[in-house]
Amino acid sequence: MGQPRLIVVPLTILHVSQPVDGGVAQIVADLLRGQIADGHRVVLACPVGGGAGESRLVAAARAVGAEVRPWAATRGAVPSLRREVAPLRRIVAGTDPHLVHLHSSKAGLAGRLAVRGTRPTVFQPHAWSFAAVTGATAALARGWERWAARWTDRLLCVSAQEQRDGEAAGVRGSWALVPNGLDLDRFDPSRLPEQEQARALLDLDDDGPWAVCVGRLCRQKGQDLLLRAWAGVPARVPGARLALVGEGPDRSVLEAFASRLAHPDSVLFAGQSEDPRDWYAAGDLTVLSSRWEGMALAPLEAMACARPVLLTEVAGARECLPPEWGPPVPVEDVAALREALVARLSDREGCRRDGLRARARVVERHDLRDTRSRVSEVYEEILNGRHDRDRREDMTIAY
């Protein structure tokens, strides 16, 4: 009595995602893997890639046995929307899912227009669309999210702050909180090279303190802010180096800015890394100077690898950090970020101690098995609720 009732086994679950890289791709891939292992039929609709080959997410989906349905969606919200909704509606009809799980703002926009509440629907924003824009565009985004909530069985947030931000924007609906999780075995520091070995593997011939930033090179991740803060670090922390690990639309602008620093050789643009674990192991500190997030995955990965992190005050930051570390750095506060970098990189032994605390925090709160279990519970709650509602409606009609 009172226990969740599993309506159908196996379920057919349709995940819809844009983007297909970065942390969102990893989160979706982890869900696909777990749901297939649980015996469900899992389908992924997303862009499949172009001339450079399949996207990271598509490759991961195929590797675990998920069905892939090409969906040619761009990152931009409105201009391409008209030609993206109809194909997605056909994918939904052809897949006939018991539940649709939409990831990020573009999939949330197109997906809810395609489904319009006719099937159980979960929307997981992975950071709200209105956080990325300002002015009239932000007002439109908030209006859309308020309106689309009517077609959403659950608004699934990865941090309590993300939920509070949605509520503050006037979004009303049924909420679920499921923090991001990691495969803790994969990020077990005992399985990683020691710092000196990792640096040798990466051809880092400098034994001084390294800060590592893993993320797409774009405005959201704030590498421009990080470089502005970094301008004053090498003079105060001799030998300090910064590695920017990732690719993105802002790389050329960031490289041009870095070349004009007083110590341009202190910044390394490392390019894309499909497996950043060696970078976490090589660094003393992982830093992410984001302007907005839901709950970033890279800091959790670094913490699982026993590396301390320096974060800005975005959604999810306070929730993933040990409370004794104090508050994150205010967003876009370059001076505060610089002082925090100097303080942390000047105390490498303190970084090592904090890394152990970081690992313990992630083990306690961000186990991927718990994340998958909670998502399954959310699905069951939705399907049971729909089942009970349909029965009540059928009884009313019969009466």
Residue 322 and residue 302 share a domain: yes
> Quick count: other Cβ atoms within 10 Å of Cβ 47?
20
Distance CA 153, CA 281 (A): 41
**Is there a single domain that holds both residue 160 and residue 201?**
no
Beta strands 175-177 and 210-214 are: unpaired
Residue (of 236, 242, 283, 249) closest to 264 by Cα position: 242
pLDDT of residue 121: 98
Per-residue confidence at 8, pLDDT binned at 50, 70, 90? low
pLDDT at 50: 58
The verdict on 128 and 207 lying in the same domain is no
- Is residue 4 situated within a structural domain? no
- Residue 317 CB neighbours (<10 A): 24
Q: Choose among 80, 69, 61: nearest CA to 45.
A: 69
Tell me, yes or no, whether 228 and 323 share the same domain.
yes
- Percentage of the chain surpassing pLDDT 70? 93
| pLDDT tens digits for range 288-303 | 999 999 999 999 999 9
Q: Does one domain contain both 337 and 385?
A: no
Measured CA to CA, the distance from residue 64 to residue 60 in angstroms comes to 7
Instruction: Give the pLDDT score at 398.
Output: 41
Helical residues (DSSP H) of the chain, grouped into ranges: 22-37, 56-64, 82-95, 104-115, 135-148, 160-168, 195-201, 223-230, 251-259, 277-282, 297-304, 317-320, 334-345, 348-365, 368-398
207 and 307: one domain? Answer: yes
For residue 143, the model assigns a pLDDT of: 95
* Domains in the chain, number: 2
The Cα 352–Cα 368 span in angstroms is: 25
Same domain, 161 and 214: no
pLDDT tens per residue, range 151-170: 999 999 999 999 999 999 99
* Predicted confidence (pLDDT) per residue in 74-101, tens digit: 876 566 788 899 999 999 999 999 999 9
User: C-alpha distances in angstroms, 348 versus 193, 200, 308, 339?
Assistant: 18, 19, 10, 15
Is the pLDDT at 2 greater than 50? The verdict is no
Q: How confident is the model at residue 355 (pLDDT cuts 50, 70, 90)?
A: very high
Same domain, residue pair 112 and 244 = no
pLDDT in tens, 268-291: 999 999 899 999 999 999 999 999
Q: What is the CATH number of the domain that holds 205?
A: 3.40.50.2000
Domain for residue 1, yes or no?
no
The set of residues, in sequence order, having a beta carbon less than 8 Å from that of 60 and lying 6+ positions away, is 25, 29, 32, 33
> What per-residue confidence (pLDDT) applies to 387?
63
Q: Are strands 41-46 and 12-17 parallel, antiparallel or unpaired?
A: parallel
Q: Which pair of tokens denotes residue 7?
A: 């309506």
Average pLDDT over residues 216-244: 97
- Is position 312 within any domain? yes
Q: Do 73 and 49 form a contact (C-beta atoms < 8 A)? A: no
DSSP 215-250: S-SSTTTTHHHHHHHHTTSTTTSTT-EEEEE---TT
pTM attached to this predicted model: 0.91
Give the domain range for residue 122.
12-181+368-398
Which pLDDT does position 391 carry in this prediction?
52
240 in the same domain as 177: no
Can you tell me which residue has the tokens 């970065």? 22
